[in-house]
């Protein structure tokens, strides 16, 4: 019933939210007499904040129309390369009318960004993608809200996640591919590449793992502690609900995005309260730039998606309770995951010094598991002063993390050239 109550609450808030937006605009419209009322700026700001708190947040667009690459502005077009029930493989195709720029674009390395499926949309990595597009051909996993997936498509578990990644890697072409996984997908990414290595397939040139729970026993956070303290049965009975019938996936068992969102806010409630208060003050002062920054962040942060119950419960058990990957007991569709079989894929791990979601050492533990990778092809980078989001978005990402990743990718570009497998030819001479 909780999901239904949430939907009922949303329906009740919509008229209030719409009224608040109208009232806010009335108090700031110079042609409206209400704008002449003493304290109209504070009234407008109050109503605008009420509107923001009550509005229905939908999946934002990536909205990346152009970037600067090789000294020139190039246009960006989003294209869905593979469409599957629970995920689309999206490519950000770069276009230019300058011949020399086209040549440079075509020589750039290929990157697959594996976005988290942990409550937020892949658009949370917008800054990550925009920065990468300066020097790389970029693909991303765009996960679909489980409440919009019809029941006839079946369940989606952790094994399915791994198989999706393997398919995407094969479609793009593993030979010169560099896979960047952010947060939760570091585990299935390592699983996918391990299984490919064990089967004798060509594996990506490098894998870059950022702030993920490879071994959640290291420096456990509040997230890890909750999973350890509660039983598998507790999670199944307390956080799994059926999607209401007004959605395409009506009846599907899911971990609702609004619960995940509530959990994230509960971890740092004071920070969010302060942020909303600062937003109110910015509106009163007329500081449009800071106000817009707040709006952009919360438009993204408040837009959440549901996770299929099987995937969520599989992840809790495999990653946070049984520690199957570091214990060497993880099986995907009956096949044992053996990271030590990876030999030709370079490894870079990135952690934030102040990460309160994936603790210190959790991601770095991948080095010990990937014993088959030569030491000279491994690297680790700890980002001083960075929290979880700071390693893939914001100033620290752009100024500190990205140069390390760019350099690492260039260093390990072309390591699989002797393989027979070739990446698919990119269409169109005017793009890359």
Tracing tokens 């990876």 back to the chain, one arrives at 342
CA dihedral 414→419→423→428, nearest 10 degrees, is: 70
Tracing tokens 């096949």 back to the chain, one arrives at 335
Tracing tokens 């997230």 back to the chain, one arrives at 223
For residue 426, is it within any domain?
no
CB 170 within 8 A of CB 422: no
Backbone angles phi, psi at 127, to 5 degrees: -65, -35
- If one counts every other C-beta atom within 10 angstroms of the C-beta of residue 138, the result is 27
Task: State the angle between helix axes of 40-54 and 2-28 in degrees (0 to 180), rounded to the nearest 10.
Answer: 160
For residue 432, is it within any domain?
no
* Torsion over CA: 331, 336, 338, 344 (sign): negative
Q: How far is 381 from 393, CA to CA, in rounded Å?
A: 16
For residue 429, is it within any domain?
no
For residue 40, is it within any domain?
yes
Q: Note whether 347 and 202 are same-domain residues.
A: yes
Q: What are the strands of the beta sheet with 87-95, ordered from one edge?
A: 66-69, 72-84, 87-95, 137-143, 110-114, 177-182, 206-210, 346-352, 378-383
Tracing tokens 């700071």 back to the chain, one arrives at 390
Q: Note whether 146 and 273 are same-domain residues.
A: no
Mean pLDDT by 10 residues, the chain (432 residues): 78 82 84 81 87 84 96 96 98 96 96 92 95 98 97 97 98 96 97 98 98 94 85 91 94 92 77 88 86 86 93 96 97 98 98 92 97 97 94 95 97 67 39 57
For residue 242, is it within any domain?
no
**Range(s) of the domain holding residue 28:** 2-56+269-301
CB 56 within 8 A of CB 299: no
Q: Note whether 223 and 297 are same-domain residues.
A: no
Q: How far is 110 from 413, CA to CA, in rounded Å?
A: 9
- Helix H, strand E, coil C: the string for the chain is CHHHHHHHHHHHHHHHHHHHHHHHHHHHCCCCHHHHCCCHHHHHHHHHHHHHHHCCCCCCCCCCCEEEECCEEEEEEEEEEEEECCEEEEEEEEECCCHHHHHHHHCCCEEEEECCCCCECHHHHHHHHHHHCCCCEEEEEEECCHHHCCHHHCCCCHHHHHHHHHHHHHHHCCCCEEEEEECCCHHHHHHHHHHHHHCCCCCCCEEEEECCCCCCCCCCCHHHHHHHHCCHHHHHHHCCEECCCCCCCCCCEEECHHHHHHHHHHHCHHHHHHHHHHHHHHHHHCCHHHHHHHHHHHHHHCCECCEEHHHHHHHHHHHHHCCHHHHCCCEECCEECCHHHCCCCEEEEEEECCCCCCCCCCCCCHHHHCCCCCHHHEEEEEECCCCCHHHCCCHHHHHHHHHHHHHHHHHCCCCCCCCCCCCCCCCCCCEC
280 token code pair: 């109110």
Q: Note whether 204 and 291 are same-domain residues.
A: no
For residue 247, is it within any domain?
no
Q: Note whether 343 and 210 are same-domain residues.
A: yes
Q: Note whether 165 and 212 are same-domain residues.
A: yes
Q: Note whether 29 and 164 are same-domain residues.
A: no
Q: Note whether 223 and 99 are same-domain residues.
A: yes
Of the candidates 282, 301, 320, which is a domain's last residue? Answer: 301
Q: Note whether 18 and 144 are same-domain residues.
A: no
Question: Which CATH number goes with the domain that contains 311?
Answer: 3.40.50.1820
Q: Note whether 117 and 30 are same-domain residues.
A: no
The pLDDT score that the predictor gives to residue 419 is 42
Q: How far is 331 from 137, CA to CA, in rounded Å?
A: 32
CB 271 within 8 A of CB 265: no
Domain count for the chain: 2
Of the candidates 251, 286, 301, which is a domain's last residue? Answer: 301
For residue 419, is it within any domain?
no
For residue 206, is it within any domain?
yes
The pLDDT score that the predictor gives to residue 83 is 98
The pLDDT score that the predictor gives to residue 283 is 87
The pLDDT score that the predictor gives to residue 421 is 40
């Amino acid at each position: 019933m909780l999901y239904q109550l949430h939907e009922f609450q949303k329906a009740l808030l919509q008229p209030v939210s719409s009224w608040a937006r109208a009232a806010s605009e009335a108090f700031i419209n110079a042609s409206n007499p209400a704008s002449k009322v003493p304290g109209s700026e504070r009234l407008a700001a109050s109503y605008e904040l009420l509107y923001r708190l009550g509005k229905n947040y939908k999946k934002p667009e990536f909205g990346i129309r152009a970037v600067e690459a090789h000294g020139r502005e190039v246009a960006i077009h989003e294209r869905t390369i593979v469409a599957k029930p629970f995920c689309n493989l999206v490519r950000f195709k770069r276009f230019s009318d300058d011949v020399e720029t086209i040549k440079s674009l075509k020589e750039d390395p290929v990157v697959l960004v594996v976005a988290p499926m942990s409550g937020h949309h892949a658009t949370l990595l917008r800054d990550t993608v925009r920065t990468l597009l300066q020097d790389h051909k970029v693909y991303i996993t765009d996960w679909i809200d489980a409440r919009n997936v019809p029941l006839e498509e079946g369940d989606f578990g952790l094994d399915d996640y791994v198989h999706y990644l393997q398919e995407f890697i094969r479609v793009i072409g593993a030979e010169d591919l560099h896979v960047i996984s952010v947060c939760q997908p570091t585990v299935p990414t390592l699983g996918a590449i391990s299984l490919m290595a064990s089967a004798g397939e060509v594996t990506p040139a490098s894998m870059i793992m950022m702030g993920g729970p490879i071994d959640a026993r290291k420096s456990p956070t509040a997230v890890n502690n909750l999973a350890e303290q509660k039983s598998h049965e507790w999670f199944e009975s307390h956080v799994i609900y059926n999607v209401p019938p007004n959605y395409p996936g009506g009846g599907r068992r899911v971990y609702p995005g609004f619960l995940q969102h509530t959990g994230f806010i509960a971890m740092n409630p004071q920070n969010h309260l302060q942020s909303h208060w600062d937003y109110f003050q910015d509106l009163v002062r007329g500081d449009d730039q800071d106000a817009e920054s707040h709006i952009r962040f919360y438009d993204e942060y408040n837009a959440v998606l549901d996770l299929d119950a099987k995937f969520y419960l599989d992840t809790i058990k495999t990653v946070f309770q049984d520690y199957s990957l570091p214990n060497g007991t993880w099986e995907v569709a009956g096949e044992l995951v053996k990271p030590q079989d990876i030999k030709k894929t370079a490894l870079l791990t990135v952690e934030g010094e102040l990460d309160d979601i994936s603790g210190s050492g959790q991601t770095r533990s991948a080095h010990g598991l990937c014993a088959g990778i030569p030491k000279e092809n491994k690297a680790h980078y700890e980002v001083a002063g960075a929290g979880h989001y700071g390693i893939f978005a914001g100033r620290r990402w752009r100024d500190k993390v990205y140069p390390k990743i760019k350099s690492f990718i260039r260093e390990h570009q072309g390591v699989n050239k002797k393989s027979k497998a070739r990446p698919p030819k990119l269409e169109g001479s005017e793009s890359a």
